[in-house]
Structure formats: C-alpha cells, structure tokens
A and B are shown apart, each in its own frame.
Chain A
C-alpha cells in the first residue's frame, strides 16, 4: 500500500509543533508498534497526544491530500503516521477513559496484520 518510514525524523516544517510527538515514539510505521505505544503509555500521556493532535488533524490530512499517497516523501509519510496514531488511541480517549478496551479480550493475543492488497502475486 503506501510507504512506511521510520517514526524518528523530521515532520514537515509547518507542523513543527508536532515534532516532539514523532521524537517520542508516536509516529511509528507499524500498527503493532502503535498499539504497543498505546498499551505502554499512561492515559494522561495518551490524552496529551490526542489533545495536541486534534487541532491540527484536519489541517494535516487536508494538506497531505494534495500529494500522491503512494509517493509521499519521508516527512509527509511521518506526518501521516502521526495521524494514524490518533486513530489508534481515539477509542481510548473517546470511549474507554483508559489505554485499553474496557472488559475487552487480550489485545496482544489479537493479531492485526498490516494493510494487505490482493495482487496478482
């Protein structure tokens, strides 16, 4: 699907205020790593991240929309990964009030693959 980049590195200059989140592991490329970040963070840390991202979320996605999704440069891809982390934690903040699903099954026993595309092999 779209390219993945290391979570560590610069984000686009106009989103420099979000740089500290990339620097502290909130822009990981793999779903599993994003999930681990959520599970190993306190709810307060998750909440801080969510609150910092929310005001810039629509703007980030709108700005990224103008580029070819399959040809993002590293900074753009890293910003996209930051937005993916918002998707990762949104239920923690909006629904559960804690890092993991309330009364849910063991998240780590539930294996989630990276996005796949059916291709001609």
Chain B
C-alpha cells in the first residue's frame, strides 16, 4: 500500500490501488460485452433539450454501437418521445435530416406518414394491404427517453432497470439547478477517431497531463514553479458518476494581448462571470466546486458511461463519446456560451472556440497512436497515478458491470 495518506485514491478503498487492466482498450470481445451489458442498458446522452423545446421540433442521432438511428421529437401534444428512426412498412430510414421542425414524418419510399407522436396516420393506398395489416399497431417503434437539466437521454433497453433520475442519483440532484439556459449559443465540434472510446474519454478525465501535453497552451494558467503539474482540488466518485474539480492556480498568469481583448479586460476581471448570465456558476450552493475554494475554475462532470459536462463560470462544454467499434469513436463536443452582445463578446467567443479546438487537437493527438501501440497487446496493465483517480474509478465501475 502507498504510504502517503493524503492520496485521493485512498478515500475510495473499494477502487483498490493496484494497476488496472489494459485489455478492455484493445479486445474486441470486451467491446461487445460493453455494448450488451452497458450501452444497451444505460441511459445514454442523445442531445439537448433546446433542440426539442417546442412541438414539432426533432433531432436524429445515430447510436452506431446498436446499429440504430433514433428520432427524438416533441409531439404536438407537448410530450417528448423517441423512436427508432425506421419506417414500419419496409424498413427505410424514415427521417434523413439531422433535425428541424415538422408536422410529421413521411417516408420517401412509399409515403407512409407518421405524426409527431409516432402514430401511423397514412398508409399509402390503405385499402389494399393484406392479412394482419393494422394501422394502429404500426406506429414507430418507441425508445425510452428522459430529460435532466438541458440534456436528453435515451435508453435502448425495453425495460430500463432505473429511471434516469435514479440512474443519475446524488450527482444528478446536485447539478440539476445549473443555469443551462443562460448559455444557448454553441459551437459543435465532431471527430471520428480511430481509437477505443475509453482512450478518447480518459484524455479528458484527468488533469495530470496538463503540464506536459498542454505545455504550449493552457498549462501556463494552471501551473507554477511550485506546482509544475498544477493542483487538484477534488475528485469525487458519486456512484457510477464522478466529478473532478480544478483550480487556476497561477496568480502570475499574464494573458497575451489577444487574450486580454478576448476577455475584454477593460470591462471585467479575468474569471469574472458574464453579468448577463447571472451569478457565477462556481458560487452555486450545490453540485459544483466541492472544495468551496476561491480560485475555482472548472469542474469536469463524468456522467456514466459516455458523457462529460465541464462547467465554468460563464460557459459549459459537453463531450459525448459514441462507441462505433473497439477502435473507433465518434466524439461530439459542444462549447456553450451566452449570446454575444458586442463585437468584443463575439471576438471572445471566436478566440475561445479556436482555443478549445487547439487544446482538443492536442488531447486527441495521442489517441490513435495509443490505440495503434496498444493493439500490439504488449501492455497488459496501466499503473495509474493518484491524480488519475477518475480514470481508475470509471474503469473499475465498468469492469464490475461486465462481471455481473
């Protein structure tokens, strides 16, 4: 056992302290188990509530691990529903657009038409179908859907073991009050990465790499001579979910002139919240900044199994990691912010959008090379540092689910 009692990992004896297996990162059979035992049974992030705020609004999302496309739609009755995106006539993909607003869905093969509540309202030349045809039983195949905060989740299990609220548990209760609606504008980044979904996720679950991988970019804000790796305020394991809380610790950090304009320093101090967005997120009573520190900058929330939500005072990021195969992942990131009101605001958004892009490119830089190297099956286990606690936590959590 390690002797340093201050180690965060020791707060969670159930996670153990030994190395963790590397095999789930390159074994296709383990990937298949993950799909069957976790992804087909868990609540999975599908999109954001703002995309389906009003009757008739819909979005389509692919879940490649289950080879299905799901249509999420706000019915004319105001109810949110989800369906497999398939025509019940001959199985054509029903809606081909990514999203929008409509009065119903017409299949472009033979014209069967469904309303926004999923009912089949028109089967072409209805009188001449043969035995067993019953319009009332040919509605779109339903998928369980539920919402939390600004987020829409689906569950592909026919009988989910838990409601979304039960599934999100203590973590969900703490964070639901976030002012999500204050950040209605967003930039979406998408990437198809030739790496296991866990390799891609792990890169965002620890700050241990900051001082090294990001030494040219963000590291200067988070590291000092005294703390060359930065600091970590807290890592919380909350059931299957978790939270990593990070301070900005460099009091001598000097923004470059471009960054100073992006922050509009004439108008406000670094780190100050956007006045339009209300009180600082970091000052909320629950669900954020668990150590209640003055120099709080950001929390990374890990929502099992494949969503992360990173909150700052004046913006949030969502990260969705969609497994495609054991060595392919579709990553979708969104940078959400308040609506810019001035040229300075708009400039700040562009700088921020470019900065996040470049940092993400640094993060992704190692992913495919790691997969390539791991596929040699030489590395059997990973020795995790204390600051990689969240990686350990969700790795162990996932392993337990597969063993059940």
Interface residues of A (CB under 8 A from B): 1-2, 31, 54, 57-58, 60-62, 64-65, 67, 69, 80, 83-84, 86-88, 90-91, 94-96, 101-105, 107, 109-118, 120-121
Contact = CB atoms under 8 A, between A and B. Distances in A.
A65 B339 contact: no
B367 to A, nearest CB: 7
In the A-B complex, list the 10 residue pairs whose CB atoms are closest, starting with the nearest: A118-B50, A64-B343, A121-B101, A104-B361, A105-B364, A87-B351, A87-B350, A113-B188, A95-B216, A84-B350
B50 to A, nearest CB: 3
Contacts of B56: 121
Nearest to A91: B358
B353 A31 contact: yes
17 contacts: A2-B346, A54-B258, A62-B344, A64-B343, A80-B347, A87-B354, A91-B354, A94-B258, A95-B216, A109-B191, A112-B357, A115-B349, A116-B188, A118-B51, A118-B186, A121-B57, A121-B100
A113 B368 CA distance: 23
A121 to B, nearest CB: 3
A90 B357 CA distance: 12
Nearest to A50: B258
Given A94-B256, A115-B353, A69 B186 contact: no
B187 interface: yes
A111 to B, nearest CB: 5
A61 B260 CA distance: 12
Given A113-B189, A120-B54, A95 B217 contact: yes
Query: Residue among A31, A69, A95 with the most chain B CB within 10 A?
Result: A95
B143 interface: no
Contact of A2 (B184, B191, B340, B353): B340
Contacts of B344: 61-62, 65
Contacts of B48: 118
Contacts of B115: none
A57 B339 contact: no
Contact of B365 (A87, A90, A105): A105
A80 B343 contact: yes
Contacts of A2: 340, 346
